[in-house]
Structure 1
Amino acid sequence: MRFFRPLHCLSHGKQMPTAEFTSQLPGHVDEGDQGVNAMQWLHKEPVLVTVSGDGSVGMWDVTLGQPCVRHIFTHNRCANAVAVAPNDEYISTGGGDQKVVSFLFGHLVSLL
Structure 2
Amino acid sequence: MPAKTYHITRLAPFVLARTNALIVGTLGVLNAILQIILGTYPYLSGGKTAVSYLKFLGAAGLEGFFTIITSLIVGWVIGLVVSVVYNWWVKFVGGIKIDLDDLGQ
Higher relative contact order at CA 8 Å, sep ≥6: structure 1 or structure 2? 2
TM-score band, normalised by shorter chain = under 0.3
TM-score by length of 2: 0.21
Write 1 or 2 for the structure with the bigger share of helix: 2
TM-score by length of 1: 0.21
